[in-house]
Every structure is written in structure tokens, then in C-alpha cells.
Structure 1
């Protein structure tokens, strides 16, 4: 349980740092101002997609390696286009295999992008999407 909290915290920090380094049109994103100790923060809605074990397994090692390479290439392309803030695997062997934080306007867009993953299409992974509020423009310390 502590590992899950640590990983979630690291994902938050990484996403916040990543927001600084990429530019995207955020005019359609949901935001609100949050006042704390005399500072105003712009809170922005992101979408976290939990990548879970799917119903299928690769037939053999060669197929598993091919699908994994396609999976990483696909997520990398979405990161380069600015749709993904951060993604990565979890460090245990639970049903939730990893998470991706999407910087998109709504859950439907996050699900559509996540569903294009070759590993999802192959049934290796399933998806669970949740809205997530983070302060825009903060970074990792």
C-alpha cells in the first residue's frame, strides 16, 4: 500500500514538472483558481488512465516483445505530441500494471487515445480512466 502511495506521489510530481516543459493549447481544459497561504494556483483537470491486466496473454515471447515495443512506441508518440504528461509501469505484479496521465480536454479523449495502444487492442491491457486535478506550472523539487 505504501508503494502505491509513493508511486502516485512520484507521478504527480513528474506530471507537474512535465507541464512546464511542454506547450499545448489549454484553452479548452477545465481550470479554477485555488488560493492557499496568499498564493493563487491554477488547478487544471487532467485524466489518469490506469493500465490493468487484460484477458489475454501473448502467445509466445516473440509476440510479447513485439507488442511491448509497439506499446512503448505508441505511448512515446503521444508524449511527443503533448497528450501525455507522464507514464510508466508500477513496481509490483498487481492487476494495475501502470498509469498514464493525459493532458486532454475530457475523459472521452483520454480513453480514445489510450484505446489506440496496440497492447490494449490485443487484449493484453484494459483501461480505467479518472479525472484528476493538479496545480498547473509547479515542478519537481
Structure 2
């Protein structure tokens, strides 16, 4: 009862803006007290937590929903995608933080309108789901020790790793949507060497920054060709082509029109993300 009273009080707190912190304490597998219901969370990068909830039936996993917590600037968003509901479209909840409590709200949604996670200690969390008034429920979850992934009866691949698949954000085919950018020579024909060098130095620095922020996973130059194509980017975690174009304008060589680009939707393996940790271990010097 004391937890319910605590959360009711927290719901009355009005926070002026969403905090930029994310609930990293959620990483791992959690079991609902007294039930065979679980949540598993992975930290995909500095801005994204990926998770899914599932139940065990006859010792096998049955996934109920996919979860995502992402932060950008001062906004943190919780997205729940429930299987066989809402045509596969996720529902967003805007997050705020008070001490060890994260509250995610969507007043326009029918139910729930509020989802709350509170860290009790390193091994326990308290969760409440509510309409903000009388309807709702709450429960405690306890952290589980690492274990072999449960078997999903919908899977035909004997090597399927559901935790890895969810971490990488792949669909049932292990694929996901990206933006493929082909860089080409731009219309600016300046011969100012200092201007060119500064622009391309910033171009390389921006590549590193986008990679660190989880927005770019592949970049590299192309050999000489008749199309004046210079290189490629593969952009990730970007919801629309308009936002992708805005992000490309952070590249000074593109902004200064030394480079131009063509951009395409590209459907490729979600496993591309796995190469990034290894790529950081094999270079001797950066360009």
C-alpha cells in the first residue's frame, strides 16, 4: 500500500520539462512477482534502450510487446508496440523523471495513460500502469540472473537469439530499415584550400559524432567513377527522410556544397550494428 500512495503522490507532481536521463537501471531481465511474466531490456547505445515483455508457457517464450525508450535533447520517449494491436504501430509516452522514478504519460491514449518505473534497489523495481485516476494495477519485478534464452515457438531458426534480435531492432527476417546516402561532388567549385580542408576536417569529425550518437553505422569513400560518386553513408535510428536530410546538413562539406548527395530507403540486415564495436578495435590511426 505504501508504494501505491507514493506513486499517487508522484502523479500529482508537474514537471516543467522532460529530463534527458534514461532509466539505465532497467538493463537485464526482470520477473513479475508471483507470475511467469518478464521484461528484458538492453542498452543499444547512449540514447536508446530496447526491450520486450513476454510470458512463459510450458517453458517457452511468448512475446507480448516490444518496448523502446529513446532520448533526444531534453525529450525522453517510451514506445510500446503490442503484438496484434494498433496495426503494429507503437504508442508513444512522454517521460519525466523524479529521483529514481520515471513516469511516461500519454493523456490521449485510452489505456494506459501512465506507465511508471521506480528503482527500489539493484534487484527490484516497482511498476505501475494507470489511467491517471482509478483504473490501473501495479506490481514488483525482481532481476533475474543471466540465463539461456527461452525458446520461442514461433521461431524456425535453431540459432535464433531473441535477446540479440530485439537489441538490434530487427524484424522477423532479421532486417530493418535504414537510409542509404550516396555522396557526390557538389556544385561549389571553389579553389580555396583552407576552406576545403576545414570543411572536410569537419566532415570527418561529424562522421565520428553521428556514429557515437547511433545515427550512422557505415561510412566510406568510393573509388574513381564516371558518376562523381564520392562515398556512402548508412543512417540508422532516424524516423523520416526529412529528419535524415536535416542531419546531413550537420556535415559542413555538404552544407558548404562541396558535397551533394542522393538518399534512398534501404532495407538491410539488423546485424550491421554488431560490426561497430569491432571496428573500434582494429584501427591504428584515424583519418
TM bracket (short chain): 0.5 to 0.7
Higher helix share: 1
Contact 1:51 / 1:96 at 8 angstroms: preserved in 2?
Answer: yes
2:264 and 2:182 map into 1 onto residues whose CA distance is 8
**Distance in 1, Cα, partners of 2:235 & 2:216:** 4
RMSD: 2.8
2:186 maps to 54
Confirm whether residue 95 of structure 1 aligns to residue 228 of structure 2.
yes
CA contact (8 A) 1:45 1:134 kept: yes
Q: Higher relative contact order at CA 8 Å, sep ≥6: structure 1 or structure 2?
A: 1
Unaligned runs of 5+ in 2: 1-43, 51-67, 69-78, 80-87, 89-155, 158-171, 276-287
- Contact 1:41–1:136, Cα closer than 8 Å, also in 2: no
Residue equivalent to 1:75:
207
Residue 25 of structure 1 deviates from its aligned partner by 5.2
Which string of whole-angstrom CA distances, capped at 9 and with x for unpartnered residues, describes residues 52-84 of structure 1? 111113332222211110111112111111100
Aligned partner of 1:17 in structure 2 is none
Structure 2 counterpart of 1:41:
173
- How far is the alpha carbon of 1:96 from its aligned partner? 1.1
Matched, 1:136 2:253: no
TM-score (norm. length: structure 1): 0.68
Describe the superposition over 1:29-68 as per-residue Cα deviations: whole angstroms up to 9, x where unpaired.
Answer: x9xxxxxxx4353321000111111111333222221111
1:118 aligns to 2:252 (yes or no): yes
Moved over 6 A (4+): none
> Which of 81, 85, 91 is residue 217 of structure 2 equivalent to?
85
Structure 1 unpaired stretches of 5+: 1-21, 31-37
Quote the Cα distance in structure 1 between the aligned partners of 2:233 and 2:49.
20
Q: Distance in 2 between matches of 1:90 and 1:25?
A: 34
CA spacing shift, 1:133–1:64, aligned 2, 3 Å: same
Q: How many residues align?
A: 114
Tell me the distance in 2 between the aligned counterparts of 1:124 and 1:87. 17
Measure, in 2, the Cα distance between the counterparts of 1:121 and 1:25: 32
Bigger fraction of residues in strand:
2
